[in-house]
Amino acid sequence: MEWYSSGANPQYGSGAYAYSAPPTASGGYGHGSFDDEPPLLEELGIDIGAILRSTKAILLHQMRSPALDALDFGGALVFLLALGGLHLLMGRVHFGVILGWSVAQSVVVYFVANQVASNDGSGQRGLDLYSCCCVTGYGMVPLILVNLALLLVPRGPASVALSAAGALWSALTAAKVLARMSPALQDARWLMLYPCTLMYGSFALLGVY
């Protein structure tokens, strides 16, 4: 049995094996693979500029601002986490409570808003659940300022009054934003103020007690 053929004349020189050079940055798939990637916040759908414009419109009560036409869920989630962070500075871990209550109360607001819109008789559509969740999160902005002040105010009648004012401010803002998003709610904004007051009042109680 022959294991090799002597006529094959194998050569074991330096050029016997050829290795292809790896692709360089100037050609091939390696060029611009990271430079062309969009920023992480853009991939997550978080627009910092839009969040700041919407926050300014809510704080200044500019209900005609085009920044309130399309609120994003990323900003709403940021404000919910900010409220939970302020509670954490007060010595209370309420992240799960805040997120859970926000979802449940957004469903309630969604149900009430669509019931009111269906009884309007104009045939205009109500709101979807996504928009209600966004309004719930952005409506937390006044409460965030109140909880920031509660870090410096001792617990007592002053903190209770401050929390009540913040809850009313948030509820009024949310009711007006809901009415702006759905024309069917224009004449029922004061009716929408009732569930919004209950919603933000519960969050205000978390910051006081």
Is residue 113 within 8 Å of 132, Cβ to Cβ?
Answer: yes
Mean pLDDT of the chain: 79
Q: Tens of pLDDT along 163-174? A: 999 999 999 999
| pTM (global) more than 0.75 | no
Closest CA to 122 of 196, 187, 197, 40: 187
**pLDDT, mean of residues 15-34:** 51
d(Cα 180, Cα 65) in Å, to the nearest integer? 10
Closest CA to 191 of 102, 112, 94: 112
Q: Tens of pLDDT along 88-139? A: 988 888 888 999 999 999 999 999 888 887 776 655 666 889 889 999 999 9
What confidence tier does 196 reach under pLDDT thresholds 50, 70, 90?
very high
pLDDT at 40: 62
Tokens 């409220």 label which residue?
Answer: 83
d(Cα 21, Cα 13) in Å, to the nearest integer? 19
Alpha helices in 22-68 (DSSP H): 40-43, 48-59
By three-state DSSP, how is residue 27 classified?
coil
Q: Tens of pLDDT along 41-77? A: 666 667 777 888 888 888 888 888 887 877 888 888 9
pLDDT at 30: 47
**pLDDT, mean of residues 29-40:** 57
pLDDT higher than threshold 70 for residue 16: no
pLDDT at 41: 61
d(Cα 141, Cα 67) in Å, to the nearest integer? 15
Sketch the domain layout of the chain as residue ranges: 67-208
16-20, 44-48, 152-156 — which is least confidently predicted? 16-20
Closest CA to 106 of 183, 198, 185: 198
